[in-house]
Chain A
Amino acid sequence: MKQGREWLLEQLPELERAGVLDAAAGERLRRHYQAQGEAPRSGWARILSAVLGAALIGLGVILLVAHNWDGWSRGMRLATAFTPLLLGQLACFLALLRAPADAGWREAAAVFTAAGFAAALALVGQIYHFPGDLDRFLLTCLLVSLPLVYLLNASLTAVLCAAAMAAWAAASDATPFMVVALFATLLPHVWQAWRQDAQSLRSVALASTLAPLFFVAMLAVLPHSWRLGWLWFAECAALLWLMDGRERGGVLRRPLQNYGRAGVAVAALAGALTEFWSHGNFWYRGDDSPAQAWWLLGAVLVGVLWLSLRALRARDWLGAAGAFPALMLWLALMVDSERYAVPLALLFNVYVLGLGIAIVRQGVAARQMARANSGLVLLAVLILMRFFDSDWPFTVRGVAFVLVGVGFLGANLWLKRRVQA
C-alpha cells in the first residue's frame, strides 16, 4: 500500500506533463495521499509506544507485588498496590472526557487499569494467603476488565482478556459452552473493528490473536483431546479458510484465511500417515465425551458444509475442498478406522497432492509468488514425509532429500518466470 502511494506520487508530474491530469487535480491527489501516508504512520508509532509503555509498567507492578514486601505494614502494602489501579482509573476518565479520539491514550489507560486491578487482587490474595485458585483469579480479572474494552474501545485489553480466557479454560473445569459464551463477549468489539476497516492493523491484529486463542481455549476443554482435538482442528481450519474467502489486500492482511489454509494443510498431512488412523488411543471411542462437545463440533461442521456449498456455487473449488479433512474425520468416526487405515491414508495423500498442485496453479494464475510457493512447500512436505515413512537406507533418503531440494529450487525459478511473464 505504502509502495503504491509513493509510486503514484512519483508518477504525478509525469501524468501532469502528459496531460492526463491537470495541475489542480494533481495537487489535490498529492495533498490527499501525502496526508494519508504520514498521519497513520506517526499515529501507530505513538499508539504502539503508549500501549507498550502502559503494558510494561502494569506488568512491572505485578512483578513488584510478587516480590512480597512483607517488611512493610499491611496498610502500606495495600496502599502501594492500589495506587496503580487508582491512576489507571483516572487515566480512563481523562481519556473519555479529554481525549476520546486519542486511540493511544485510550488503549494505554485501559490496559494499565486492567493490570492495576490484577495487581491489587493479587496483593490481597498474597496478604491473606488465598489458596491456589488461579482460575478464579483469572476469571475475576477478565470479567472486571471486559467493560473497559467497550467503554474505551480498547483492542489490546480485548486481546489480554482473550488470553486470560484461554488460560482460565486450561486451569478450570470449564465446559465448551462456557468458553464459547466467554469469547462471544468479545465478538461485538471485533465486529465493530472489522466493519470500520477490515484491512486496518487493529482488525488484522485482533483476528490474528483472538482466533488462535479461541482455538487453544476450546482444545483445553474438549475431553479426549487427541480425538476430538483433531476434529476441532480440522473444522476450525476449514471454517477460517471459508469464512474469510475474500482475496482483497495483501497476504498478511488475511490472517484468518492464512490460519485456515495452514490448518487444513496440517490436518491433511496428518491424515496422510497410516499411524494417524490406526493408533489405538487416538480413535478410542468412550461414552464419557459430554454431549456439549458433540453438539458444538456438529454445529461447526454444519457451518463448514454450508460455507463449502457456497464456495462450490461460486466456483471456488479450492475453497470448497478445504472442508474435506473435517468431513472425512467425521465419516471415519462411523467406521473402525484402524481397519481402513491404509485406504484412508492413501486418500489423504491424493488430497494433499491435489491441493498442492491446485494452490501452485492458482498462485501462477493470480501471479502471486507467495501463494505458488506455499503450494510447492505442501508438495515438498508430502514427498519428504513419504521418505521418513519408508524403510529405505539413509543414503537413499539423503539422495532423495537433495533431489527434492534441487527440484524445489528449480520449480521455484520456473514459477518466478511464469508469475513475472
Chain B
Amino acid sequence: MNTRIPARFAVAALALLCVVQWAIPALLIQRNQVTLGEGTAYRFRTAPVDPIDPFRGRYVALDFAAARVEVPATGDYQPDARMYAPIEVGEDGYAYLLPPLPQAPAQGDYLVVRIGWRDEAHQLRLQLPFDRYYMNEDLAPQAERLYLDRNRMPMSGDDDPRRPAYVVVRVRGGNAVIEELYIDDLPVRERVLQAR
C-alpha cells in the first residue's frame, strides 16, 4: 500500500470514490430516463452514414436539416459559442429550429446548441446535442445500405421513391434524448430485420 496514506483514510477515500464512480453514470441515467419518460417528442429529419466509436461501438451518424438555420446576416454568432435554439414544428410535422438565443427562452422547448459556421450570409450551421444513433455492430452497416437504397435519386419518369429517415427526440428542460431512428416509418432495427 501507499506508505503515505494511512489505511483507514485510504479505505474511506476509496469508499467515497466508489460512490462517485456510481453517481456519475447514475445521474446521467436518471436525467435521460426522465427526459425519455416526460419529455415532448419531436421528429427531426436526418440523413445517416455509418462510422464507428472506439469505446461505444458502431453508430449511425446523423445529419439534420434542422442543423441549418436561417439567421439575419448581421446576427452575432461566435463560432463554438453555446446558445439556445427554440424548437418549432412545421406543417409537415417535422421539427425545425429558430435562430439561436444567448439565453434559454422562458417558454417552449429548446435545444442547447453550439454555433458551427455560416454556410452563407443568412444560413448558420449548428451542432446539435444529438448526432449519432448507436446500433448493433452487425445491423449498423445494413441500416446505412438500406437508407441509401431507399433514398436513391429517381430515374426519369419514375415516382420519387425517397422516403426520408427521421429520429424522434424527447426534449425536457433543454435536455434532448434520441428515442428512436425511423426508416420507412419503421424503427430502424425492425426495418433492418425485415429487410434480411
Contact = CB atoms under 8 A, between A and B. Distances in A.
Interface of A: 62, 65-71, 78, 82, 85, 89, 92-93, 96-97, 100-101, 106, 113, 117-118, 120-132, 134, 137, 140, 144, 147-148, 150-153, 173, 192
Interface in B156-184: 177-178
Interface string B10-29: 11011001101110110011
Interface string B47-74: 0000001111111000000000000000
A97 B1 CA distance: 10
22 contacts: A65-B55, A66-B56, A66-B57, A66-B58, A68-B135, A89-B14, A89-B18, A96-B10, A97-B11, A106-B1, A113-B21, A117-B21, A118-B55, A120-B25, A128-B29, A129-B130, A129-B134, A130-B56, A132-B131, A148-B17, A153-B2, A192-B4
B1 A129 contact: no
A140 B14 contact: no
Contacts of B32: 128
Given A101-B1, A132-B53, A85 B134 contact: no
Interface footprint category on B: 35 or more
A351 to B, nearest CB: 43
B5 interface: yes
B28 to A, nearest CB: 5
Contacts of A106: 1
Interface of B: 1-2, 4-5, 7, 10-11, 13-14, 17-18, 20-22, 24-25, 28-29, 32, 53-59, 80, 128-137, 139, 177-178, 189
A85 B54 CA distance: 19
A117 B23 CA distance: 11
A122 B58 CA distance: 12
Contacts of A132: 53, 131-132
A68 B5 contact: no
Nearest to B25: A124
Given A66-B137, A129-B132, A144-B17, A121 B25 contact: yes
Given A70-B189, A100-B7, A78 B137 contact: no
A96 B28 contact: no
Interface centre among A78, A85, A122 (most CB of B within 10 A): A122
A69 to B, nearest CB: 7
Contacts, number: 119
A140 B131 contact: no
B10 A151 contact: yes
Contacts of B18: 89, 92
Contacts of B53: 66, 132, 134
A66 B53 CA distance: 8
A288 B132 CA distance: 34
Nearest to B127: A131
A193 to B, nearest CB: 11
Contacts of B57: 65-68, 126
Q: Which of A65, A100, A131 has the most CB of B within 10 A?
A: A131
Contacts of A148: 17
A71 B136 contact: yes
Given A96-B1, A96-B7, 11 more contacts: A66-B137, A70-B136, A82-B25, A97-B7, A100-B1, A121-B25, A123-B56, A125-B55, A126-B56, A147-B17, A151-B13
A99 to B, nearest CB: 9
Nearest to A128: B32
